[in-house]
Every structure is written in C-alpha cells, then in structure tokens.
Amino acid sequence: MSIKRVVVVGATGAIGEPITKALLAAGFEVTAFTRSLSEHTFPPGVRVSPVDDYEDVAGLTEALKGQHALISTIAIGGAAYQKNLLDAAIAAGVTRFMPSEFGGDLQNAKVKTLPIFADKIAVEEYAAQKCKGTSTSYTFVSVNAFLDWGLVNHGLLLDLAGKKIQMVDRGETAFTANTVKFIAQGVLAVLQNLDATANRAVRLNQAVVTQTQLLGLSKKYAGSEGWEVDTVSTETLEQKANQNLQENPADPAAYVLPYVKRTVYGSDCGCNFDGRDDNDVLGLRKMTDEELEQMIKGLVKRSNLLAISSLEEYRVSHAEE
C-alpha cells in the first residue's frame, strides 16, 4: 500500500515543522494533531485535528480513521503517551507508525541504560509486540545530533551567537549529525520505502564531524576572538546528570541536556553511524566537507544570527529555505 494521508503529532516543533513542510512539498495530505486552544498557524494545506486527551484511545482512534501513517515528534516528557497513539493507530488500521525517536541510537546497549530514554525504549518494545499480526508496522529513526539546530540553540554542539562551546572529551570524538531538513527528508524516504523500513530502526547519517572541526569552521567565519571554551568528559556529564536527576527529578533542565550530550559524544553510545547507517536504503547521501563549511558560513552570515535567542527566531530566519 502506498502512503498518502499522514498525521503529524508535534507539527510545530523543531523536527515536526520541517517534516510537515517536506510532506506537503512531496504531495502528501497532512493532518496536524494540536491542542484545541492552540493559536499556531500552519502552512496552507495542513488539516488541523484538535486533540486534547492523549489518554483517550477511542478518541484518538476516531481521529486516525482513514489515515495511512502516524509520525510522532512529541517531546521526551510525553513519550509514554505514544503507546496510546499506537493502540489507536492499530485500531484505525494505520499502515506505518513512527514514534518520536530522532536522537541517539536506542538500539545501543549503553544508551539503553540512560534513564531519560526509558519511556522511548518502552515504546519501542511495546511497538514490537503490539504490531505483530496487525496491518500496522513501525519504523524508529535515529539521527544522533541535530546539526544546524545544534549550532544555534541550547549549546548542544556549540553556541554560535554567544561564541561558547562545552568541549566534550577534548572535542576529538567523531559523531553523526543531521540537519533538520535532512531528517525530514529521511522521514519522507521511509514513507516512500515501506517494505525496506518495516519493523526496524533506521539510522540517518548526513555528516560525521568533531567538535574541534565545528569550532574551527565557526571561528573562521564568526571570528576567532572572544570564544568561551569549557571542557568536560562524557563520564562527568553522566555523573552530573544522574546526581541532578536524583536530587531534583522535577527539573528536567538540569539533566536532560547532559544525558543527550552523553549520547551525542559517547563512542560507547554508538554516536558515529558510519558503516551502520541506512542512507543507501533511503536514497540519501552524506554532506561533503565543502557543504558543511558553506552551511556554517551561511549560519554566521545571517544578518540576525547574533540576535538569535530562541528557536522561533531560528525558524523565521530559515523561512525561505
């Protein structure tokens, strides 16, 4: 069966928005699940379906009737609700379910031990069991690090606007990173290659970089003066995250990013997808070194880059792409 009608949960987010745009551009009929009180405006062609209760499986089932695919980009704090989404998708006869992975390699044994990923792993295990004998299949998409977003937001890779970087393990670890546009193209490719991507994880691999490399290119175009460089080890990141989680579990800001960095830069977390990626299956190609440099040059050259302080401003600056 070919996929035509697609529901996106979290269509306004860092990944959900470019996925939605890519689907529309490719001719898919897109429905966004959103809160009934949301005032967000969507691109022309997006059908909005108000959903306020993700515990109401019957209501979710009704909302999913007639849909072919369900893509969730729900935030990590709501990952557990995806079991209800899957139950509803199966009941509604949805062909493909794609939960909100879009991070480190959850097939990796070390990553499985990090507590913030417990709900996502539970969803994977649930999908593997619940989809058996049904018309619904699943795909898990791993990307490791967000490349462009990680350069301008939250200091995941570095902070171009603030000229800051937390150098992890001396910045020498080679790791996979993908732009949000490439991630969206990967999701699109999954829907266009249903048989090859059914009931399995796929890994996207646009570029393999190091922090040292990214810092060098950033200094080349943003200037080498005034950079604030902090150093930390992956082991320390994990220890601090464990401590912060134990002492104040209600404050995810204190431990989520350190755990994410632990996976992004941890060689024992399988952070380099070379030799294990699914680019060929999906018809995707890696970025060249020249393309990487031009991307960073473009980010620095944007007239409003130094004023970027929020993801919303980042979206606006990329509106014409």
Give the residue carrying structure tokens 């830069």: 265
Order of strands across the sheet that contains 47-50: 47-50, 29-34, 5-9, 69-72, 96-98, 137-142, 200-203
Q: What is the DSSP string of 239-253?
A: HHHHHHHHH-TT-GG
pLDDT at 320: 44
Q: Do 111 and 260 share a domain, yes or no?
A: no
Residues 166 and 297 in one domain: yes
Domain that holds residue 260: 145-177+206-317
Whether residue 201 contacts residue 140, with contact meaning beta carbons closer than 8 Å, is answered with yes
Regarding whether 294 and 186 lie in a shared domain, the answer is no
3-state secondary structure 156-214: CCCECCCCEEEEEHHHCCCEEEECHHHHHHHHHHHHHCCCCCCCEEEECCCEEECHHHH
Give the CATH number, domain containing residue 87: 3.40.50.720
Are residues 190 and 161 part of one domain?
no
Nearest to 264 by CA among 253, 272, 256: 272
Whether residue 272 sits in one domain with residue 128: no
Amino acid at 310: S
139 in the same domain as 155: no
- For residues 263 and 8, give the distance between their C-alpha atoms in angstroms, rounded to a whole number: 26
Residues 234 and 134 placed together within one structural domain of the fold = no
Contact 173, 269 (CB under 8 A): no
Asked whether residue 198 falls in the same domain as residue 241, the answer is no
In a shared domain, residues 173 and 190: no
Bridge-based pairing of strands 200-203 and 137-142 is parallel
Question: What is the full per-residue pLDDT of the chain (321 aa) written as tens digits?
Answer: 689 999 999 999 999 999 999 999 999 999 999 988 888 888 899 999 999 999 999 999 999 999 999 999 998 888 889 999 999 999 999 999 999 999 999 999 999 999 999 999 999 999 999 999 999 999 999 999 999 999 987 689 999 988 999 999 999 999 999 999 999 999 999 999 999 999 999 999 999 999 999 999 999 999 999 999 999 999 999 999 999 999 999 999 999 999 999 999 999 999 999 999 999 999 999 999 999 999 999 998 873 444 544 444 445 445 444
Largest Cα–Cα distance in the chain?
A: 60
296 SS3 class: helix
Q: Residues 26, 115: one domain?
A: yes
Dihedral (CA of 168, 171, 173, 177) sign: positive
Do residue 248 and residue 125 come from a single domain? Answer: no
- The span from the CA of 77 to the CA of 66, in Å, is 28
The residue ranges of DSSP E strands in 16-74, in sequence order, are 29-34, 47-50, 69-72
Q: How many domains does the chain have?
A: 2
Question: Does 139 share its domain with 149?
Answer: no
- Find the CATH number of the domain harbouring 272: 3.90.25
